[in-house]
Structure 1
Amino acid sequence: MILPCLSRRSPPIWRIPSARYASSKSSDPLRILFCGTDDFSIASLRAVHDEHQQNPSLIDALHVAHRPGKLGGRGNKLLREAPIKSAAHELGLPTHVIDTFTGWTPPTAFNLIIAVSFGLFVPPRILNAAKYGGLNLHPSLLPDLHGPAPLVHTLLNQDKKTGVTVQTLHHAHFDRGTLIDQTPHPGVDIPDPDTCTPAQLSRHLAPMGAEMLVNVLRSRAFVPPLKEVGWFQSAGLKDRPIRHAPKISKEDMRVDFKTWSADRIVRTLRILGELWDDSIFEQLCNRKDDGPRRIKIHQVRVAELDQLESDIEIIPEPFWSPVHGCVAHYTPDRKVVCLESFTVEGQGRGTGNEYVLPRLKDDYKFLDL
């Protein structure tokens, strides 16, 4: 399969639509409001913009809506703009900042709304004003993994296959539209599943989704009558439960050393980028008078038990390993997770081992791995 080139220095080259996209449908020239936020949506925006440049009879106008910048970083002092903002400006496209559709009136008439990783529900008032309603590109094989975080849950679930789906925007619910295009059965392989991160999976799927979205526009698959193409419940998977992919919460990032295996700890940290715990500091340093001190874990390494430890009953608990120069923790599967980089609440990032060592309990027993 020929994938689109998304280089900023040269225009994308798109595969000529196959018979799969052949259609006798027609439409008015499209006036598109493209709603997006992140790098996954930028790939689709560039593809739609390229089609706009090369095929103005199909796409007459293209505007971009994005969310306002948010304060982040230490002390919430750094304004982080939506990545798609700079891409839209680079392409010379008109932009509109939207944090809510309440009270917002489109500045010009649009006849198609496209939402890709936008995060805001497009209300019926906006969809009804667009002759062709709305489209959404979703990075999963809908209806499976519907919700705002499909990439993360694909990896957390250790799936081997995935794909992309173009659906219509539903007037009342997220991810309940008609599936008008989808990666063919059984999906595509996840690249390097044992090391893949959400960002890497996004980069893998983004050009596939961009190509699919443009071919949907070319074939006018969004023009009624719509054809439902979803295959999940007709491919021998109808008895498999449809999974939700909710937004990742703080609690999802809380590690449980007493029940999680070492592999699960490593995998979850790789996918979520950070874990936290509020018991290790108290267990190690006996600082109950200060209250619980949360730690944020950034990097770990798994070590096997030595011969001495292999012969005794292991109770999951934290300890200091002088061999590795760091805090470590036994896990229920009889392995040792070394906390190579972590931060104690209120201290400098990554300085956890240096901060904890002089504060260990007086009666603490040092163990060698």
Structure 2
Amino acid sequence: MSKPLNIIFAGTPDFAAQHLQALINSHHNIVAVYCPPDKPAGRGKKLTACATKQLALANNLVVEQPVNFKATEDQETLANYNADVMVVVAYGLLLPEVILNAPKLGCINVHGSLLPKWRGAAPIQRSLEAGDGQTGVTIMQMDKGLDTGDMILKATCDITPSDTSASLYEKLAALGPEALIDTLSLMATGEHTAEKQDDSLANYAAKLDKAEAELDWSLSANVLDRKVRAYIPWPVAQFTFIDEKQNPQRIRIWQATPLQLAHGKAPGTILTADKKGIVVATGDGALSLTSLQIPGKKPLSVADILNARGHWFTPNTPITGQINE
């Protein structure tokens, strides 16, 4: 077993908390846990601690919550922990160079892609949306760039045709902690090496936007299927249906299947509608919608949707409920 390292951990959501739990279970020493300040949540807008802070407090770990690291006092506080390394997982705050250089071995980051591909905020969603066959996690030495640091270790997993961003998230949340512990073992012995990224192979995983959720039926069925799966659990793919009272109804798509069939219909036309699915013409092929959510309701099977709103989904009419001029 390698020697224990004194570690500062920085992270926010459940994905980060799962990595913190791996460190708690290891022989390493966690000298401090850094989280963003508590934020209002829920209908009452009560200040709520993030998943990482909750786990840290449950294990009697010291928690620090600076707004940022611009204040000299916050920089000095971190430096005074005299850590060997700082582990950063989905923290959400930019680290200035003075912080990156404070620990003896610098700062390392667990990133949810196979760098240099998909640098940025939404690597899991963008890799799925793009149709990648494989993804994984990269442990890298952090520098002042955006996910541009030298790579220490990679762990890979396949992306299956049924994966959503939620299921990929769980895969990487299991893969990342193991890769992190392996990386720390290498760093503790001084045997680790770091490979520079090839910037010419890099692309950017932009943060998801709600506007992207509205589907464009002129795209191919395969592309639309990947978007549906990439946008689960947020923002969830949707289309806007204009009902008989001319009210817009935003209908979310939770499950769909691409079909390779020739139809000769305009994209967005309902081809068939039965308990097996609402089949919609696309720019290439068709998309069978099998689980939908109408406003104010929970997600339901298409069979249940048709029982309640069958008149909304008539074959040879637009899925939007109105003719596009």
State how 1:144-155 maps to structure 2 within 5 Å. Answer: 144-155=117-128
Matched, 1:275 2:237: yes
DSSP 3-state at the match of 2:10:
strand
Residues 271 and 80 of structure 1: CA distance in aligned 2, closer, same or farther (over 3 Å): farther
**Percent of aligned positions that are identical:** 23
Q: Given the alignment, which residue of 179, 198, 203 partners 2:170?
A: 203
Distance 1:320 1:211, change over 3 A: closer
Q: Aligned residue for 1:113?
A: 86
Equivalent runs, 1:283-294 vs 2, <5 Å: 285=244, 287=246, 293=248
CA deviations on 1:106-152 (whole Å, 9 max, x unpaired) are 36524332101212111223234333321111122211111121111
Which structure: larger Rg? 1
Letter in 1 for 2:61: L
Once the 2 structures are TM-superposed, how far is the Cα of residue 189 of structure 1 from its aligned partner?
Answer: 3.9
State the SS of the aligned residue for 2:94.
Answer: coil
Partner-residue secondary structure (3-state), 1:164: strand
Residue in structure 1 matching 2:292, options 335, 338, 341? 341
1:129 corresponds to which of 91, 102, 106 = 102
AA aligned to 2:154 is Q
Q: Which residue is 2:252 aligned to?
A: 297
Mark the CA change 1:96 to 1:354 in structure 2 (over 3 Å): closer, same or farther. Answer: farther
Determine the structure 2 residue equivalent to 1:23. Answer: none
Asked whether 1:215 is paired with 2:188, we answer no
Q: How far apart, CA to CA, are the structure 2 residues paired with 1:198 and 1:250? A: 15
Inter-partner Cα distance in structure 1 for 2:136 and 2:279: 38
Provide the secondary structure at the position in 2 that maps to 1:154.
Answer: helix
Using the alignment, how far apart are the partners of 1:340 and 1:91 within structure 2? 41
The alpha-carbon distance between structure 1 residues 198 and 128, as it changes in their structure 2 partners (threshold 3 A), is: same
Question: Partners in 2 of 1:38 and 1:63 — Cα distance?
Answer: 17
The correspondence of residues 33-112 of structure 1 with structure 2, limited to 5 A, is: 33-51=8-26, 54=27, 59-71=28-40, 77=45, 81-103=49-71, 105=74, 106=77, 108-111=80-83, 112=85
Structure 1 distance, partners of 2:46, 2:269, is: 35
Q: Which residue of 2 aligns with 1:176?
A: 148
1:7 maps to what in 2?
A: none
1:228 equivalent to 2:194? Answer yes
CA displacement, residues 298-318 of structure 1 (integer Å, 9 cap, x when unaligned): 335459799xxx7x7411245
Aligned to 1:194: 161
Residue 330, structure 1, aligned to residue 281, structure 2:
yes
TM-score, length basis structure 1: 0.67
Please tell me the residue identity of whatever aligns with 1:158. G
1:64 is displaced (CA, Å) by 1.4
SS in 1 for 2:53: helix
Aligned pair in 2 of structure 1 residues 209, 321: CA closer, same or farther (>3 Å)?
closer
Contact between 2:36 and 2:66, CA under 8 Å: does it hold in 1? yes
Partners of 1:109 and 1:81 in 2: how far apart? 23
What CA distance in whole angstroms lies between the structure 1 residues aligned with 2:181 and 2:239?
A: 45
The number of equivalent residue pairs is 305
1:215-244 alpha-carbon deviations (Å, 9 max, x no partner): 332332796x983335x75xxxx97x4221
Structure 1 residue 65, shift from structure 2 partner:
1.6
Q: Which has the higher strand share?
A: 2
Unaligned ranges ≥5, structure 2: 318-325
Amino acid of the residue matched to residue 227 of structure 2? Answer: T
**Structure 1 unmatched ranges of 5 or more:** 1-15, 18-25
**Cα distance change of structure 1 residues 218 and 198 upon mapping to structure 2, 3 Å threshold:** same
Match of 1:164 in 2: 137
Q: Secondary structure at the match of 2:69?
A: coil
What residue number does 1:139 align with?
Answer: 112
For the residue of structure 1 that corresponds to 2:120, the secondary structure is coil
**In structure 1, how many angstroms separate the alpha carbons of the residues matched to 2:184 and 2:228?**
39
Determine if the alignment matches structure 1 residue 263 to structure 2 residue 229: no
Contact 2:129 2:230 in 1 (8 A): yes
Partner of 1:13: none
